[in-house]
Amino acid sequence: MFGRIINVFLSFILACLAAGLTKVLFATTPSELAGLPADVAADKMAKVVDWTLSSGAINAIFAAPFALVAAAIGEWRRLQNWIYYALTGVAISLIGFLSHYSNENPGAPTIVNNYALTAFLTAGFVGGLVYWLFAGRSAGGPMATNTGGSKTGGMSGDKGKPPVKHVDATKPASSMDKPKTASSVPSSGNQPKKA
């Protein structure tokens, strides 16, 4: 239990850092970094790391209450599907975008544009996937395996239940469905005869 809590916490931190890096890479693109001379690129990379840590910390502060609820639901319901965590990350990021917009000063430049919205939504998606990769895919414990050998999990509610044998009530039961007894098994001729 304690190990699982640590896993969820560290996965949340990694997800916030991944989301922060995604936002930074929207501001300072990899192609821009690749075209710089070596000495300038090293300085710019140091700034990218600094901005990533700052953005990750802001992400963690803002997203913590939402992510705590989402992680608790994921653990409780054993949601191991990546879609749940990716969409949760997008939703949290959209809330962050809208909170930025609602706190803007009148007359100041606005955050509302397609590029900023894309950066926020992509960052939420990446953060959700990173969380799923490290904690979400094992939410609630390992995935149950049914007797057919296929894994169950994700958002289904039949984890760990044996497969159900469906019987067609319109057909009469055949002799194949009846249990075999000693008297119903045909003699093979190799058995000794009773005297």
Q: Which pLDDT tens digit goes with each residue over 60-73?
A: 999 999 999 999 99
DSSP secondary structure of 115-136: HHHHHHHHHHHHHHHHHHHHTG
Domain residue extents for the chain: 2-138
Q: Which pLDDT tens digit goes with each residue over 101-131?
A: 998 888 888 888 999 999 999 999 999 999 9
> What sign does the dihedral 98-103-106-111 (CA atoms) show?
negative
pTM over 0.85: no
Q: Which pLDDT tens digit goes with each residue over 141-193?
A: 776 444 444 454 444 444 555 555 555 556 555 555 555 555 555 555 555 55
Q: Which residue has the tokens 């395996």?
A: 145
Distant-in-sequence, close-in-space partners of 67: CB < 8 Å, separation ≥ 6: 12, 15, 88, 92, 131
